[in-house]
Amino acid sequence: MNTETNKRMIWIGAGAVALLEVLIALLFMMPGRGWGSFVPGLILGAVLGGGAFVAGIVLVLREADRRASQMNGMFAASGAGETAESTESHEPGQASHKTMERMQTYLLDIDQNVEQVKSSADVGVFVSDLIAESARSASARSLEQSENMKEIARTTNEMTAAVQQVAGSADEVASATLVTSEQASTGYGQLVDAMEQVRKTDGTIQTLLTQVNRLDEKSGEIEYFVSIITEIASQTHLLALNAAIEAARAGDYGQGFSVIASEVRKLAEQSSESAKRVSTINASIQQDTNEVVGTSSRVADDMKQGIGSLEEAGRSFQFIQAAVDEVNVQMQDVSAAVEQIAAHTEQVSDTIARAEEMAASTSEEVATVQQAAEEQLSGMQQLSETVGGLSELTGGVKQAVEHFRELQTAN
């Protein structure tokens, strides 16, 4: 009956140990800790459960010690009872045999309890060894995880700094594109003013070219009139020469007319000479006018080409301004996106920093659990050695009882 009770106590203790392990592990999985805390929780639960298991074994050992004390009392009582019964009934071996049978029953019960405790202690040593090994492995993984979290935190900080630098560069580029857009707009306005001024200059040149053409026409008319004057002077000179000839024929009567004819001839010669000079000057004017017309025509052509080039430059400025405006809009979007990335990166960095702190705390907890597991393993080994010694002691007591029984039987 006692053996069955002890077995039930041991099995109930083992079940309580397992349940305690799971409960403590679940406590370690409270919100904010995650599955990473399940292993240290399980190990800590196993350590505490092992302690409860050891406490159960200690209770069984105390029960065995109590039985041994009862057996010692029985030895003492057997001696006194044997003397009394031998005096009264003259059956000196009857009480001793009954006492020996009861002692054998107690020894058998104690031996079975000790064997059960020894088996349980061996299992406890094996489990404690597994727990200690798991604690050491968890400690190594926890340290590795802590180092990895430090490396991740360092990398995240570098990434955060890089993102902030990119954000600053994006802001600078956005500012530069805005300034470039303003400069392009100003340059396009200046180009439009230059195009307008060139068009005005082209209009002035066209007006000048028209006036020069009119001047060339007037020079042609002057040349026509000069030719008429030259012809008239030539005819007048011829008439004056004929008049002088006729005056010479008239003798004294023609002297006065001869003087007039001479003066008319001189005037005709002067008129002819003046007409020649006017013709020469007019020819020079016509030549200069033609050169001015040619130059003005070339300038007009150049102005037309310049206007075309300015119009092309204006279209290019419009394209550049549109492209710069588009780049400015895109850079603003990029800047906003980079700022969002920077904000998220800072949040990630904060989360990783908290995770790093939790990893360091978990590493410390696992180290504490490992130390407790090592201490439990040492205690279980000592307990196993103690139970082994108790088993040897029980065997010695059994041998002594058997020897005592043989002596009683012989007597």
Which residue did the predictor score with more confidence, 104 or 34?
104
Range in 54-58, 206-210, 220-224, 292-296 with the lowest mean pLDDT:
54-58
Q: What does the pLDDT look like over 162-194, one tens digit per residue? A: 777 877 777 777 777 778 778 777 877 887 888
Given pLDDT bands bounded at 50, 70 and 90, which one contains residue 397? low
Residue 310 has pLDDT above 50, yes or no: yes
> Stretch 147-157: mean pLDDT, rounded?
78
Three-state secondary structure readout of the chain: CHHHHHHHHHHHHHHHHHHHHHHHHHHHCCCCCCHHHHHHHHHHHHHHHHHHHHHHHHHHHHHHHHHHHHHHHHHHHHHHHHHHHHHHCCCCCHHHHHHHHHHHHHHHHHHHHHHHHHHHHHHHHHHHHHHHHHHHHHHHHHHHHHHHHHHHHHHHHHHHHHHHHHHHHHHHHHHHHHHHHHHHHHHHHHHHHHHHHHHHHHHHHHHHHHHHHHHHHHHHHHHHHHHHHHHHHHHHHHHHHHHHHHHHHHHHHHHHHHHHHHHHHHHHHHHHHHHHHHHHHHHHHHHHHHHHHHHHHHHHHHHHHHHHHHHHHHHHHHHHHHHHHHHHHHHHHHHHHHHHHHHHHHHHHHHHHHHHHHHHHHHHHHHHHHHHHHHHHHHHHHHHHHHHHHHHHHHHHHHHHHHHHHHHHHC
Task: Give the percent of the chain with pLDDT over 90.
Answer: 0
pTM for this structure? 0.42
Task: Note the pLDDT of residue 28.
Answer: 46
Annotated domain spans of the chain: 2-167+358-410, 173-349
pLDDT digits (tens, 9 = 90+) for 244-300: 888 788 777 777 777 887 888 888 888 888 888 888 888 888 888 888 878 878 887
Q: Which CATH superfamily is domain 173-349 in?
A: Methyl-accepting chemotaxis protein (1.10.287.950)
Residue 25: per-residue pLDDT = 47
Q: What is the pLDDT of residues 80-137, one digit of tens each?
A: 444 444 444 444 455 556 666 666 666 666 666 666 666 666 666 666 676 667 667 7
Q: pLDDT by residue (tens digit) across 347-394?
A: 877 777 777 777 777 777 667 766 776 776 676 677 667 766 666 666
Per-residue pLDDT, 302: 81
